[in-house]
Every structure is written in C-alpha cells, then in structure tokens.
Structure 1
C-alpha cells in the first residue's frame, strides 16, 4: 500500500503540472459560480423579459462528492439548486479508489467537494494540497463527530463477551480526537492534517486507526447532513433558506429511520452479530449492540487460520445462526464460517456504494438501511 501511495503521489504531482497549464489558460477561476446566461430555456417557462435581471438565470452550484452516502446527502440538501456528481463509480469499493486525472479536473472545476473524512478518502489531502482552485470549498462531513478508534486487527482481538464489549466502549479521550484534528478552521478549507503515513499507520486503506463509517448510524447521518447544509449556505448564502428547507425535509426522514432502528432493535434476544468487516461500530454503539467483525476496517482483509478458528468458536459458543456479508467484496470467508457452524449468510450492507442492480431497482440510503434493519432484527431474534 505504501509503495502504491508513493507512486500515486508522484503521479499526482505530474498530473497537476499538466492540468494547471490547461486550466490556467481558461482565463478565470474554475470554481467561481458562472454568470453566463443559459443557452436554452424551458418551453413551459414564461418568455424572459429584456431586463438585465431576468436575462441571466442563476447558475447551479457544481458539487463533487466522494462516494455514495456523501452523494445522497448532498443531493438531498442541494435539490434543484445544485448539480451533484459522484466520483466513485457504481459497484466500486471506495476504500482503495483513487481519482483519475479526469476526476481531478472535475474537482478543480467544482464549487464544493463533499467527502466523509476520518481517513475514508485516503487521496483527499493530496488532491486538496495540490489544488490551484482557491475558491473550492472542501466539506468534511464527519467534522465535529466523535470519531471512534479502530484497527485492522479489531475483528480478531475479541476475547469473546468482555473484549467485544470493550471494543465498543467509544468514550475516547481527547488525544484520539486531536490526532485526527477535526478542527480544520473555516469549512475545512485551510488545513488538511490527515497525513496518515506516520509509523504504525501504513496498513491497507490507510484509515490511520480511525473508524470512518459514521454514516451507518442514522443519528450521525443527520449530523453529516447538517454539516453539508451549512457548507452549501456558506457557498451560496442567497439560497441558504432553501438549503435549510431541503435539509429539514431529509432530516425528518432520517429521524423517522432512527426511531425505527431504536424500536426495532430494542429487546432483541441477542445483541451480538458477526459481520464481514468492522463497518458497523457506530450503528452498534447507537443501538446497544455488539459488532463482532471477521476482519478489521479493511473489507478485503482475510483472517488467518487461527482467527477463523476464533470466530468459529465464538459463533458456536454464542449459538450464532447468521453470518453477515456485504455486496461489494467477496463473501467467501463469511460463507466458509457459516458452512463450518451450520449457519446461514445474509447481507448487511455498509452502503459504501450501490451496485448497478440496486440503482436499477431504485434503491437509496433509506431503503437499504431499512433492509439492514430487517436483517438485523431477523438475526438477533433467532
């Protein structure tokens, strides 16, 4: 991973030299809101008057988002006032994704870049540090949220009940927060002190020992939406009231979802669940559950034979009947454990991206989270 990141850094520098020569010749900052009148008008709209005020329709905000939950949240906040694009393609696991030169151009031309932070997007600091777009507003959606510590070995240091519970004692000290340095100043635009290449943080996916999966708690998703709303209003203050209205409407849906989770997961027969990787710590903390991950924060990490034996032992001792896997990575480890103990497998979706099939079926954050709730209810009441 280290060598690949070094190669990425070197390539990034070369790409930006070329890109800046191209973009520099455009004569204006790419991130400023354009004032050029639209070339066409809706046939259902009244004919424009000849006054200067009506001759130049307001330009939409151009928003780039890192991966699916950020896209969904930003799209609901922006509504008709923003063109929101998703950088990570459908069906792509985002932990290892890195932007192409074409993606970098998109970011350079954007008004806002919305990303999760907490180490999820290992590429973002390099892109922002090299950016020549002084007007780009970088929005770290997890800013201000109590970020949990995690490790690639989290799934294997369980010691059964006690260790599993301790693994979710998330009242971390201030030092853990300071290491991540969430206080980036004005709208996360000044400093991006997330260089996780220090000794001890060179593991795959480069989360820097932090758990970035905050969006899987509906309560924390609300906080991310509110942060995105504030950034939209800062960039486009004339439409702040509409962004607030849009956010209010979506937050109401998230609040209803949160209530469904609270009601649906209270009083279950069991509180521990085995999942493919350690993506559900925030959800477990919010609803008093215990996540027992097969792997750590890396979804593609495979356990050793000893670690597999520990999971099998835990599952047998606790009469686990369902092993959860996810959609964007191989399910073979989960299936092997389920076969060993005579359990079944089921999907618990970390919502790191939608598949083409999910998009075609009209799935979204709310529908998939409700499917996750139903899956957990079934497994925890077996």
Structure 2
C-alpha cells in the first residue's frame, strides 16, 4: 500500500517537471534571438563571398569591382569618422567571418591593434606604395566632437585624395580579387578598366582647376590633405578647425597670425562650415570651399559623385575670383 502511494507521488512529480520543461521551451522560442547568434546564422547561410571594407572610398571601389557575385559591406555608421571607429563584438564577428577584409593602410585602421583577425584575410591596398606614405612629425591631439580626442601622428592617412594613389589602390584590389576568385577574372578586369578611367578623369580635372591657383597660398581647415597637396602642388597650411564647431578665440588668433605672414583668399574644408564661421571668414576676405575626402558615406551620393561635386565647387569659386579680379 505504501509503495503504491510513493509510486503515484513520483509519477505526479515527473508529470509536473515535464510540463515545466515544455513551458520553458515554449517561452524561450518566443524570445528574440541573440544578436551575435543572428549574425553567425546569417553569415553561415550566405551564398556569396563577403568583402568587408574600412572606409567609404574602399566601399565604392570594392562594390564597383565586385559586381553582383560578391557582397561588400561597410559596417561603420554614417555619423562618425571611420579613422576613429572602434568595432563592437558583433562587428568583430562579421569581420572574422568575411572572406576578405580590405584595408586602406598608412595607419588608417588604428582599431586593428585592438582586435584579432585572420591575417590571411587582411589586404592592405596602399602597401605597394608604402614608401610614398607621408610621415607626420610630432603629433597634435584635439577633439572631434562626440568622438573625443584624436591624435594626428604616424602617417597621413587619406591616401586616396591623390587620385593616382587611389588608382593604385584600385589596381591592387583588382589583382587581389582576381587571385582569390579567378573564375570571375574577366568581370573584374572589365570593371577595373572603368574604375581606372573614372579616377584618371578626376585626377585630370583636379589638376586643371588647382593649376589655376598658380602657387597662391590656401588654408586647409584640417590636416587631412597632405597627399592632395603633394599631388596637385597646392601651396597651403593647415589649421585644426572642425566644420561643425565654432572656432575658439585662440583659433581665430592663430588664423590672424597666418594671414599676417602671407595673404590667403581660399580656405578648403572637409565639410560645410557653420554659417557664422563662413561669415567671419568672408569678412576677412577668405572664401570657403568644401573639398570632402568622403571617408564616410553621404546622403549626397557615392564617393565618385562627392569627388566630382568637390571639383565643381572649386571651379565655381575660382571662376568667381577670376571674374572679380577683372572688375
């Protein structure tokens, strides 16, 4: 009699346990999956090779070269500077799972020192002209808005602002794609030829417009134009001004000292300066023009579109200054 009671109790407890397990399983099925799991699942199920890139110029080059048979991703959001970017755990997983990781080089990807990535997947597009990288002596630390402090040291990083160097980066990338996916070589070569023509045209147009300066001094709002300055023989000096921040009194004084040493009529900006900043510069006889490196994506178009617009703005300003000189 006692044994029968014990058996009934055991059976009842087992039944409760089974119900509890089923309930937990059902509830867990309704929970949203972990982001990392989703990333791993999507990467595992992809049907095309994946290329990850570290800035917008490389994104444009890679997408133009890759065609429809290779996916290209640029994981950095549009609100920051890719050179100051820091990857999340999810980003690292995405990079680790990629077939190829395309880098700018010249120290651009400072975040590489903080992550572990397969070296066999890393490809530095500017390594072939490493001897041409421009070293930065000393180093200046200043703030980039919400991104915090940023230090300019090591090498100049905007290699693509010399369109011939950009052409070399594209050529190097094309050769790497052909080596990794030789069955697509014909498509890569065809698209590479088109890209090279685009860059050659940009180079020619920049040369045509900047030669009109005839050695006249300009001011760069930020020290990111070193390769641009060298290639197109621009006589200029750099400040450390941000387009979305009002210059301090000390910065205005620095500008006044520069103007006392040599007259300047043109200031080249990474982005559109604040209206008040532009107005004060106008009062000093300095005309502002945006020549964006387009390191990050823009609502105004892809990298090629932005570069073409840079040249159009420069041409419009130079036309205006020449017309004024004739009056």
Tell me the TM-score normalised to structure 2 length.
Answer: 0.71
Is 1:149 matched up with 2:149? no
Q: How far did 1:317 drift?
A: 5.4
Separation (CA, whole Å) in 1 of partners of 2:77 and 2:181: 27
* 1:94 is aligned to 2:82: yes
Using the alignment, how far apart are the partners of 1:273 and 1:246 within structure 2?
Answer: 36
Alignment of 1:1-382 (within 5 A): 59-127=47-115, 130-131=116-117, 133=118, 136-145=120-129, 146-151=132-137, 204-205=149-150, 208-295=153-240, 308-315=252-259, 318-327=262-271, 331=274, 335=278, 338=281, 341-355=284-298, 357-358=299-300, 363-379=301-317, 382=321
Cα 1:208–1:274 shift into 2, 3 Å: closer
CA–CA separation in structure 2 for the residues paired with 1:209 and 1:300: 26
Instruction: Give the CA deviation at 1:207.
Output: 5.4
Displacement of 1:95: 2.6
Higher RCO structure, 1 or 2 (CA under 8 Å, sep 6+):
1
In structure 2, do the counterparts of structure 1 residues 93 and 332 end up closer, same or farther at CA, with 3 Å as the change threshold?
A: farther
Q: 1:271/1:221 Cα in 2 relative to 1: closer, same or farther (>3 Å)?
A: farther
Unaligned runs of at least 5 residues, structure 1: 1-18, 39-58, 156-202
1:154 and 1:293 in contact (8 A); partners too? no
SS at match of 1:248: helix
CA deviation map 1:48-102 (0-9, x unaligned): xxxxxxxxxxx53201111111101111111122100112112322232111111
Shift of 1:126: 2.9
In the alignment, the residues of structure 1 paired with residue 152 and residue 50 of structure 2 have an alpha-carbon distance, to the nearest angstrom, of 28
Partner Cα separation in structure 2 for residue 281 and residue 378 of structure 1: 23
Distance 1:299 1:116, change over 3 A: farther
**Greater C-alpha Rg:** 2
Once the two structures are overlaid, the 10-residue window that deviates more, 215-224 or 87-96, is 87-96
Q: Distance in 1 between matches of 2:236 and 2:295?
A: 18
Question: Deviation at 1:237?
Answer: 2.2
* Consecutive unaligned residues in structure 2, runs of 5 or more: 1-33, 142-147, 322-327
Q: 1:315 to 1:366 in 2, by over 3 A?
A: farther
Deviations 1:227-267 (A, max 9, x none): 11122122212222321221111111111221222223224
Contact 1:233/1:243 (<8 A) preserved: yes
Q: Number of residues paired by the alignment?
A: 277
- Hey, what's the Cα distance between the residues in 1 that align with 2:125 and 2:259? 36
Alpha-carbon RMSD: 3.6
Q: Is the 8 A contact 1:281 1:291 kept in 2?
A: no
